Chains A and B, each alone.
Chain A
């Protein structure tokens, strides 16, 4: 049966963890098909044969492109898919992954199952993907026509395979692109990005002002968490849009989400309802966020957050 091709994403030469999750999902499906998992890296970098093999790859093809170019990367991926008999391409549902996914689907003449959170491969030739729609207010189960096309997978929903086997790593030629990345500046907070973090501490208008954010930063650092914000806070200019969680911000699904001084508007819930454990801290016992929280504390953030940070410092991790 036909092979599966995974697009690897890296930054500054280092592989993004979410690519390992995608490899794990592809491995499960390939095992059900009795076929192979190939991976294509469209940027130069360090590709560790043991780590990639362990996550699920049989073979890794590294293209010799220097700067990232989405159309170039898509052309390279579509060429490899054809050469290596892959009718299904998988990528992480990141900014770059979403971009590449749509282009590769177009080049393959296939479909696009975007931002999937589950996969059912009872029919391994044409698996069924579950994807949230209407900002998570409903879910679609979809199938690519003839099993041909691209699936992008949301972070934190799939796991690397954990095998003990090494991938073969080969170099291939890259296709040229028309648009390319000419500069990249990393955000230097040292905290994980809210969309990728396994734990998120998010604040809303209830924090009172931008100056109060040090309370959230201390809590985030005690937890190793990323920072999130409601739109009210972003619109007020207290925090950058890159931290906004919700329907018109980022969709997150961490293991642990703290909603501090956030009321729980439907558009905010849309971005975080997939979190495994939700903690809400709000001074209004009737705030809608409590209806969606796993654990709630009714109280003033000025009082609860410092106490929480202090108590966490005493918890052995």
Chain B
């Protein structure tokens, strides 16, 4: 089973956002592998090992800094890594990213493409299905359970109020949702081994942007709230506030 797993470098979820030049001010920000991409890497390793043959390639597009996240994927157990470099990569829309990622793997053989369901920086949920569409392979998004039997893929996902089962055949793309697996931590041995694994760096061109950022701002502040009281005795005051003041009851 030959699998390509896509990994994005993102700020940790506890990052306090401040804005500089219409972008996240990188001062003091810590970066990690996008949490959903950990599910993708884990699933890739599991499927490769179950199949008993094949390889896992981890790919990341960044302004050069995603070396560290690719090394993490290698330390978890990926076989090789490809770093796509462009100075603008930190500030492009997901369709431009998808075009660059699709280009970079044109002509390469794969059975599966694995993505996170969303990158927790710009929260676009777009790259996986867009890459699949550009390459003309089927794609199943936000998957919480995945079974591969021969070249048949059966996946489950949760949609609002229901659970869907979907079927497709290989080669195929999957975007991974929490619940799919428990990502492993890299072992010390894995980290040592990762240093010797191949990591190719390639400069890439980007197509003209398909979306323009007009402004980045902090969200409007919520009006200050208030305490209505303590314990069960506060319940009447709460109901009055919800009916009279907030008019939601």
Contacts and interface: CB of A to CB of B under 8 A. Distances in A.
Interface of A: 11, 16, 68, 70-71, 74, 94-96, 98-99, 101-103, 105-107, 109-115, 128, 131-145, 148-149, 177-187, 192-193, 195-196, 199, 241-242, 244, 247-249, 255-256, 266-267, 270, 273, 276-279, 285, 290-300, 303-304, 306-308, 311-312, 315, 317
B157 interface: yes
Interface stretch (B54-62, B64-72, B139-147): B139-147
Interface in B145-183: 154, 157-169, 172, 178-179
Contacts of A295: 225-228, 238, 241-242, 246
B164 A139 contact: no
Contact of A112 (B95, B120, B234, B236): B95
Contact of B138 (A71, A186, A299, A303): A71
Contact of A149 (B95, B226, B238): B95
A128 B249 CA distance: 34
Contacts of B184: none
Nearest to A117: B219
A266 B95 contact: no
Nearest to B207: A109
Contact of B11 (A131, A134, A195): A134
A293 B243 CA distance: 16
A308 B238 contact: yes
Given A115-B123, A299-B230, A103 B130 contact: yes
B35 interface: yes
Which 4 pairs, one residue from A and one from B, show the smallest C-beta to C-beta distance? A111-B210, A179-B168, A111-B211, A307-B232
29 contacts: A71-B132, A71-B138, A95-B160, A98-B125, A99-B141, A103-B133, A106-B98, A106-B133, A112-B94, A112-B95, A128-B214, A131-B123, A132-B123, A135-B13, A138-B217, A138-B218, A141-B213, A142-B214, A179-B138, A179-B140, A184-B163, A185-B162, A294-B223, A295-B241, A295-B246, A298-B231, A300-B231, A307-B232, A307-B235
Contact of A299 (B158, B209, B234): B234
Contacts, number: 288
A111 B239 contact: no
Given A143-B212, A192-B161, A312-B249, 9 more contacts: A70-B129, A107-B133, A138-B219, A178-B138, A178-B169, A180-B166, A278-B222, A299-B231, A304-B232
Interface residues of B, number: 85
Contacts of A247: 13, 120
A11 B161 CA distance: 10
A316 B58 CA distance: 58
A273 B17 CA distance: 15
Contact of A297 (B154, B227, B249): B227
Given A95-B142, A133-B122, A145 B231 contact: no
B216 interface: yes
Nearest to A11: B162
B19 interface: yes
Contacts of A103: 129-130, 132-133, 139
